[in-house]
Amino acid sequence: MRKGQNRFIAGFLLAPLTLYLIFVIWPYIQTVGYSFTNWTGQSPVFDFVGLDNYTELFRDDVFRTALWHNILLLVFIPVVTILIALFFAFMVNVGGRSAAGGVHGVRGSGFYKIIYFFPQVLSLAILAVLFQAVYRSDQGGLLNGLLMKMGLVDANSPIEWMNDPDLVLWCLMVIIVWHGVGFYLVLFSAAMQSIPKEIYEAALLDGAGRAQTFFRVTLPLLWDSVQTAWVYLGIVAMDMFVLASTMTPGTGFGGGPDHHGEVMATVLMRNFLYFGKSGYACAMGVVMLILTMIISVITLRATRRERIEF
């Protein structure tokens, strides 16, 4: 009976595992193989060059600049997104209090959830088009227009949001945070709703304030969800290709001004499609894969805590 059950399970797993090996694992293996060659992407003929691509990679100033930008995004995007999403989730679930001492969300919390989640239904490509209008460097831009109306910016010298080397990366980060907060608000809200209300009511009876309730009750019980969110946002920060390639100035997948809007994905695609250095681009892809896996493992290890049962 047991042997028949194992064959039955194996039969169902065979097809998806085969597809996964063909369409996911095999391309990874090919990419690793090509990274040791001088493949141009067009010619089927190429030579084995060993570690030359990797040696050149870490002498490439543009790639090192892009790597540093990804590290900055990796630090700020998860922290800012998770903090804002946790705050909003706390307010719409347990931020309000009734006269009887019960626990509930702030007034209109259901409406707020819809509003906060709305950016998540838009693709990053659509967001890029929308925020190009927001960041326009004239009076027609939403931000410049508002600042000019408030008298904070001179109409003759508007802020060049996407052309300013000191602002371009932060402008991209704002879009990612705005896009992601709604999703993680819903994720944290679902986790909060599984926490018995009696725990919050007991904390209130003991005289705990909102800040104490959040840090002593909510955050420890949501830690698994926070850990998962951190890993996913870290992966987002390591990519950033869609926004960086469509919104930053520059020839061939953006990256400007003067490479201040560069991320590893834009450097990779420029080398692959524009410069015909496909083997070199594959080496970048392998480095990105290794860094993403290392960051995920470190994050899971560093944020691991003893599970709290309730």
Per-residue pLDDT reduced to its tens digit, 51-92:
999 999 989 999 999 999 999 999 999 999 999 999 888 888
Residue whose entry in the numeric block shows the structure tokens 């209300």: 197
What is the DSSP-derived secondary structure letter of residue 242? H
Q: Measure the CA dihedral 294/299/300/306, to 10°.
A: 150
pLDDT classification of 295: cutoffs 50, 70, 90: confident
Tokens describing residue 70: 């990804």
- The pLDDT assigned to 104 comes to 66
pTM above 0.75, yes or no: yes
All domains in the chain, ordered by first residue: 52-302 (1.10.3720.10)
Is the pLDDT at 19 greater than 60? The verdict is yes
Per the model's pLDDT, the better-predicted residue between 36 and 231 turns out to be 36
Kindly list the distances between the CA atom of residue 63 and the CA atoms of 57, 60, 75, 174, 178, in Å, as whole numbers in the listed order. 7, 5, 18, 23, 27
| Distance, CA of 199 to CA of 218 (rounded, Å) | 10
Per the model's pLDDT, the better-predicted residue between 120 and 110 turns out to be 120
Is the pLDDT at 30 greater than 60? The verdict is yes
Per the model's pLDDT, the better-predicted residue between 165 and 45 turns out to be 165
Q: Which of 46-50, 216-220, 222-226, 249-253 has the highest mean pLDDT?
A: 46-50
